[in-house]
Structure 1
């Protein structure tokens, strides 16, 4: 019997990772009812992290927090034993805001509230996935929810959001939640940007969050001010660290103030869901994501899956909404073959509006290949 493991990431804006796997599975079964299919949805630290962990057997724990605009929001973290998995995108993500983007005032305070809930539940290992952020506040909202205080020159608490960091004059960490001293905090991230400058949090990711050119410049100045204040308070400067600019500077705030460790997102996620064990006895892995491009090669989920599969001696097929890599890049990334919805449909519009049926057609084509190989 041929055994196939379906391990896609989400197709952002269209289908969740679980839905992608479901459609691919239907297509394979339509051609071959003797194929044993298992699924392991994956993520790289952004949208879909909670779902991937819950699919792997973690419990979903509902909590109350606030979203990136400070509005009450029902969200959750995933838990197994004393490990909690917090997805920033699930509480303070850009996707949840629709068109209501507030690049200057969006906050990560709600993320901190979810971390507090995990600590209240007795968790002593917290994994925070920080992709999909709606804010550029340098992690100030996160650390303030955990007890830090950020004040202006008059000793008053500053407002939430990245722009307010221009008023920051002092950081007081004396009231940080004392439980953090006994907690291992790991940050799952797939970017290596520094905090400031042309490659920094504001310049690279601010426009995605609705920031104009003038607002990007303002946010960069505000983050520089924040970095100065944090360095004065802690005695260490982390602004140039690789990954400091992740999630609008959450990477910076987490490392500099909370003592977190940044980890490559997909590697951390694959370890948490026991992906290496899932590969045992598998004949083929099928992974994928919405866009297969240069960003994929910098450590996105499909490449992480391909690396793990290659170490286990299992061939890998990648399926994407669109593929912007040439054949050589596909091979060098560790994929034995690549399929795209755009190629299958003949147009990007159909790929966006009918991803499910197109995935099923690709699943059938993959099954045909299995039939020839068996």
Structure 2
């Protein structure tokens, strides 16, 4: 690389949960990188997320777009204001599902795991459809509901009916009574737009690792509730599989009633089975959350130019390498670019980092620190840690030649 070309530093962190947003972390890391690499360096900030909490803010920050607001309902049907987003041309709409079925919004009353639903999420989706969005990015996580996405589809005009042809009650408690689905009143654009659902877990819909068994307890479900919800999701999956099979020619040598393997599909257990109805009725695609965000913000193209890559999150551990932001960044980074990680805590050994393709990782902690202490000063600590780790690279004896840096730059 010619010495005359300034170094390109791509900064693409996740949020530090409970401390700093992804945009705030990116800005802090960029300041630290600037101290190390000098004013001539080109620093590209791309706040990231894994599809859960903070994804809406990360995407809007990257697109330099404000959030939009509208009236919807929480998981118990009570009025609330929700945030959502849209690209500058209005083509892509962004929904963080917890704005319409989030657990924190219903924590002021006893949890109702059989009643909570995703109708409020569907209200936001309807607004985006009415406004002409061609693609909807649905970021799920932090939900209070286990309704298989029936509430969302109900808000878009679908009807889930019992044996007598009557609509079943909202929430997961009525899923076992569903015998058919009436889609005649579905929003006219619901099945024509592209739906992409960001998931950050690989749990299947049902069973020991399913939506009810794993995530039901945090939503207030006891053993009897879990059994009822799990059976209800399985019933809904069978009904939807039959419906899907009936809308296309059966595969050669197969019965039209077999349908897709909804019960065991990885990721369908996310957010109370929310992907189920959207995939079955609208042809939605489930995508690992970090990959969806990476695609939406153009991470691949940015990293292709990078001389140094800086990423981070609250805790760097083995889960970080299994579909989280750090994993997406290190996989997309060019082999020639060092990958540096700044984290609240680093639980991977140097050998594990090296094996994963991470050049170096540092914690923001300055000696022994409590979580409240780290949280209170996270912004400053992230900047300082980024400056430290970048300085070690920038002033390495080979770095000025390989990165186009100059002494005292």
Please give the TM-score of this superposition, normalised by the length of structure 1: 0.89
Question: 2:260 aligned with 1:240, yes or no?
Answer: no
| Paired residues of 1:61 and 1:79 also in contact (CA < 8 A) | no
| Paired residues of 2:51 and 2:293 also in contact (CA < 8 A) | yes
Q: CA deviation at 1:32?
A: 5.9
Count of residue correspondences: 373
**In the alignment, which residue of structure 2 is the partner of 1:72?**
79
Q: Deviations over 1:330-370 (max 9, x none)?
A: 23333111122457544445334432332233123124314
Q: Deviations over 1:125-144 (max 9, x none)?
A: 22222233232111111111
Q: Deviations over 1:278-316 (max 9, x none)?
A: 2354322211122223332221111101111136x3221
CA RMSD of aligned residues (A): 2.5
Q: CA deviation at 1:114?
A: 1.4
**In the alignment, which residue of structure 2 is the partner of 1:41?**
47
**In the alignment, which residue of structure 2 is the partner of 1:261?**
285
Show structure 1 runs of 5+ residues with no match. Answer: none
Q: CA deviation at 1:107?
A: 1.6
Distance 1:200 1:22, change over 3 A: same
Q: Residues 82-161 of structure 1 correspond to what in structure 2 (within 5 A)?
A: 82-98=91-107, 100=109, 101-161=111-171
| Paired residues of 2:345 and 2:364 also in contact (CA < 8 A) | yes
Distance 1:61 1:222, change over 3 A: same
Task: Give the Cα–Cα distance (whole angstroms) in 1 for the partners of residues 208 and 391 of structure 2.
Answer: 48
Show structure 2 runs of 5+ residues with no match. Answer: 1-5, 246-258, 401-409
| Paired residues of 1:342 and 1:351 also in contact (CA < 8 A) | yes
Q: Deviations over 1:192-227 (max 9, x none)?
A: 221000111112222333433443333212212322
2:359 to 324, 336, 340: 336
Task: Give the Cα–Cα distance (whole angstroms) in 2 for the partners of residues 36 and 8 of structure 1.
Answer: 17
**In the alignment, which residue of structure 2 is the partner of 1:198?**
208
Greater CA drift, 20-29 or 216-225: 20-29
Q: What secondary structure, in the 3-state scheme, does the structure 2 residue paired with 1:13 have?
A: coil
Distance 1:316 1:247, change over 3 A: same
Q: Residues 150-229 of structure 1 correspond to what in structure 2 (within 5 A)?
A: 150-229=160-239
Asked which structure has the greater CA Rg, the reply is 2
Task: Give the Cα–Cα distance (whole angstroms) in 1 for the partners of residues 367 and 102 of structure 2.
Answer: 31
Greater CA drift, 350-359 or 286-295: 350-359
Greater CA drift, 63-72 or 115-124: 63-72
Distance 1:212 1:358, change over 3 A: farther
| Paired residues of 2:84 and 2:94 also in contact (CA < 8 A) | no
Q: What secondary structure, in the 3-state scheme, does the structure 2 residue paired with 1:180 have?
A: coil
Q: CA deviation at 1:153?
A: 3.7
Task: Give the Cα–Cα distance (whole angstroms) in 1 for the partners of residues 24 and 15 of structure 2.
Answer: 8
| Paired residues of 2:201 and 2:267 also in contact (CA < 8 A) | yes
| Paired residues of 1:342 and 1:348 also in contact (CA < 8 A) | no
Please give the TM-score of this superposition, normalised by the length of structure 2: 0.82
Distance 1:230 1:307, change over 3 A: same
Greater CA drift, 358-367 or 136-145: 358-367
| Paired residues of 1:172 and 1:233 also in contact (CA < 8 A) | no
Q: Deviations over 1:70-90 (max 9, x none)?
A: 222322222243222222133
Distance 1:55 1:212, change over 3 A: same
**In the alignment, which residue of structure 2 is the partner of 1:272?**
296
| Paired residues of 2:22 and 2:48 also in contact (CA < 8 A) | yes
